[in-house]
Structures are given as structure tokens and as C-alpha cells.
Amino acid sequence: MNITTIILAAGKGTRMRSELPKILHKIANRPLLQHVYDMSRQLANNTIKIVYGHGAELVMDTLKNLEAGWIEQKQQLGTGHAVQQVAGQIADTDTVLILYGDVPLLKLATVKQLIANVNDESLALLTVHLENPTGYGRIVRDSAGQVTKIVEEKDASAIEKLIKEGNTGIMAAQGDKLKRWLNRLNNNNAQGEFYLTDVIEMAVSDGVAIVTNQPETIDEVLGVNNRIQLSHLERVYQQEQACQLMEQGVTLIDPARFDLRGSIEKLGIDIVCDINVILEGNNSIGNNVKIGANTHIKNSIIGDNVEILANCVIENSVIGQGSRIGPFARLRPETVLAEVVHIGNFVEIKKSSVATGSKINHLSYIGDTTVGAQVNIGAGTITCNYDGVNKFRTIIEDGAFIGSDTQLVAPVTIGKNATIGAGSTITKDSPENQLTLSRVKQVSITDWQRPVKQD
């Protein structure tokens, strides 16, 4: 059986009050449409068609990598009209699944159930029971409980408005039948639109039964129409992810204050995340890692037994096992730390490698540098890697000791076991095993008098 999934995504989303088309707004840093796409990608033998329209250029630019057929709906004349744009590309024997690009949390299991309900004699419809169904199309059933039609809120009678079973808009039907019904749609209704929902009544009159199923939770079928709903679904999604992580052996001190905006490639056990941790992009985190409060980690690999103290920002970095980072450390892209490295407060590292056991504990900038093993870099050390035009590398060999408040003017090499005296500005290579320092000789003025204030 082949499936054609049609994702309706042409609408404007006026209530977002945004320059950005609604489906490009994000949940967990992923566009709404991408959520729907990623879920439907998991269906076997599935071809995805996306009906787009509003903000066409921006949508295409942002999501052109999706493996889908893109069909432009130039004017948004209704959900039925949107599906009509794809009709020419639907094979008779396909099962056609219709999804909305602004309903991001729909579950694969729900969709699979829907598809399983489609056959020669039935159309599958996802409905939802709502306390307050305002705005939703209502599911009208006969005395035997069979669905007879969907009536839109604006076309509904006072009695129909009392119906609490709403149309999610999500349905599945056989290709040949759906195409036949699409051909017969008209826009004689309160909104002058071509309603996809009108196919229900047509199906019934063709002797096709409407089989309904419901999602496990209402959140699954909620659409995003404004930023309040967007934030609600963000929290729902984050809560789900947090639960999955906890089930896999991660302690989240407060799952409501944890955000995963991406994926975790390798996840160890006994990871502890304090509050306000953000994991973004694709990270790997080893066993027994502790991540302190207010820490943002992006596209990084964290080894076993690493401790990251509060308020660190880590991006595109590798942290070897047993290392300790922070508090208040910033690891910028291409930082590679070997095992048992200590990076302390107010230290920034960029495009540098630091070998085993080295320590950079306070107030330093290390950029474009190769740091050997067992190196100790004193407080306030700065690699001067940039002359305003070009960047140069600093090499600090194994066992070197860099005194506090030192500037290493690159390109420069500090030899093995070299010691640099505090307060030095090093502009030439410093030989191994020796003390190098550049410091004005200290003098004391014996007969100096401190000025005295006259009043």
C-alpha cells in the first residue's frame, strides 16, 4: 500500500502577528512544518506533498531540503481547494493522508491508526472531544451514531453548535474516491470557501462509512494560531522530551525548566541537569555528567564524568572525560579538551586544543592555541592571536607553566616545561625548561613623599 501525505501549509496565520509565515515559527527550534514532516517521514511507502502559499519564498528557502513535492496554492480558497491542488498527483490506489502544517505534535501512532481505518468502504477521520469546541467544525452523527457530515462553526445551527465532538481536520481516504469527491466541492457556504470537510457528506451518500478515532491527548491535535498556543505546545513538547530523558536515566532537577532543542546522539546514564539547562542541536553526553544551572550546550560531545558548573556556554566543542568546566566558562567552536582538563571561571576558549590534565582556571582568553598536557595557565593569561588582519597560532608544550597576567603574542611557541614569569608579554619563542620573563625591573624610590592635600 502506498501513502500520499498532503500537508496543508498555505495559510497566513494572521493572529501570529508576524512577518514570518506561521509554519516557520518554531517549537524546540524546529519549524512547525518540520515537526509534521518529520513525523510523517516515519511512515513506510510514503510520498509527502506540501501545499504552500503564504510566504512562499521564505518557506521554500528555509525548508527546501525536505524531501517532498511542493505545490503552490496561489490563493487560499479553503482546505478543499488546497487539497485539489495536489489531486493530479494522487494515484487511484493510494491512501491519502491529510495533515496540517500548523498541528505540530500529532503522534505517529495516531496517524497509523487512522491509516489502518481506511479501506474500500471507509474513510478515516480523526475527531476530538472538547470542553469548548468553538471554532472547530462539528461532527454530526445520526441516531445510530454514524457520522453523517461535518458542519463548520460558521454554518452550524444553534443545536449543532452544542456538539462537543470537533473535527481535527486530519483524515485519510482512498485516492480514487477522494479525487472524485474533490471534483464535486463547491463554495456555497458562510465563508465562500471550498471546504475539505464537505467530502464527508459525499462519502456517506456514496455508501462509504466514516470511521473515527481520537488522539490520546488533545495536545496532539492542537493547532498553532497565536503565540500563546505556540508557547503552550512548546511546553507540552518539552515536557514529553523531559519525561523520555528521565526514563532513560537522566535526572532533571526540574523538568519544567529544561529545554532540549534538538537531539541527543549518545546519552549516558546518571546525567544530572540542574535548572535552566538548554541542550541545542546535536549533543552527545556521557555517563555521570553533571550540568550546572543556566548552562547552554550546543553541538558538543561531553565525555564521561564531566562536571559543568553553573552558567557555562559551550558550542561545537569536545570535552574529554573527567574534565571540569566553569562556573562562567565559554567554550567556543572547535575547542577540544582532552581528559581531566580544568577550565575555570571567566575563561574563554576558541579553536584550541588542550591536552590531558591541563588547567586554565581563571580569567583567560585562549584562542587558536595548542595547549600540551599538564600545562598550568595562570589567571589573566591572554593569547594575542589577532593582529587586526590575520590570526596566528600559539603553541604551549607539555608541562609549561604560564605565570598570571601574561600575554602570549602569536605566532609563538612556549617550550616543554618552560616557565613564564607573571606579567610577561611574550613575543618570541620561549625555550624549554627555562624561566622566561619580560618585565620592567622593579624599583623603589627611597626619598619619595606622598603628596598631601592642602585645605
* 78 vs 223, beta carbon nearer Ca ion: 223
Is residue 54 part of the annotated active site? The answer reads no
Exposed e or buried b per residue across 278-304, where buried means at least 16 C-beta atoms within 10 angstroms of its C-beta: bbbeebbbbebbbbbbbbbbbbbbbbe
Q: Report, in Å, the least distance between residue 98 CB and ligand UD1.
A: 9
* 151 vs 297, beta carbon nearer ligand UD1: 151
Q: Which one of ligand UD1, Ca ion, none interacts with residue 260, CB within 5 to 8 A by kind?
A: none
Q: Which residue has the cell 500529532?
A: 106
Q: Report, in Å, the least distance between residue 137 CB and Ca ion.
A: 10
Tell me the one-letter amino acid at 336. Answer: V
Q: Report, in Å, the least distance between residue 385 CB and Ca ion.
A: 53
Q: Which one of Ca ion, ligand UD1, none interacts with residue 345, CB within 5 to 8 A by kind?
A: none
Distance CA(432)–CA(415), nearest Å, equals 4
CA angle, 376 as apex, 374 and 380 as ends, to 5°?
A: 155
Tell me the one-letter amino acid at 130. Answer: L
> Which among 54, 232, 296, 362 is annotated as catalytic?
362
**Residue with CB nearest ligand UD1?**
137
* 99 vs 426, beta carbon nearer ligand UD1: 99
- Which of 402, 400, 302 shows the shortest CA–CA distance to 355? 400
Q: Report, in Å, the least distance between residue 323 CB and ligand UD1.
A: 47
Q: Which one of ligand UD1, Ca ion, none interacts with residue 360, CB within 5 to 8 A by kind?
A: none
Strand (E) or helix (H) holding 16: none
Contacts of residue 341, defined as CB under 8 A and 6 or more positions apart, other chains included, come to 319, 320, 323, 324, 354, 355, 356, 357, 358, 359, 360
* 25 vs 324, beta carbon nearer ligand UD1: 25
Q: Report, in Å, the least distance between residue 96 CB and Ca ion.
A: 20
Q: Which residue has the cell 453523517?
A: 148
* 8 vs 420, beta carbon nearer Ca ion: 8
Alpha carbon of residue 180 to chain centroid:
40
Q: Which one of Ca ion, ligand UD1, none interacts with residue 76, CB within 5 to 8 A by kind?
A: ligand UD1
Q: Report, in Å, the least distance between residue 8 CB and Ca ion.
A: 10
Q: What φ, ψ does residue 303 adopt, rounded to 5°?
A: -75, 175
**Residue with CB nearest Ca ion?**
223
What character string, x for contact with Ca ion (CB under 5 A) and - otherwise, covers 182-221? ----------------------------------------
Distance CA(376)–CA(364), nearest Å, equals 12
- The site for ligand UD1 (CB under 6 A) is made up of 8-11, 51, 73, 76-79, 81-82, 100-102, 136-137, 150, 152, 166-169, 195-197, 223
Secondary structure (DSSP) of 338-364: -TT-EEEETEEEES-EE-TT-EEEES-
Q: Which residue has the cell 624599583?
A: 443
* 134 vs 143, beta carbon nearer Ca ion: 134
Contacts of residue 317, defined as CB under 8 A and 6 or more positions apart, other chains included, come to 300, 301, 331, 332, 333, 334, 335, 336, 337, 349
Q: Which one of Ca ion, ligand UD1, none interacts with residue 196, CB within 5 to 8 A by kind?
A: ligand UD1
Cite the active site residues: 362
Contact residues toward Ca ion (CB under 5 A) are: 223
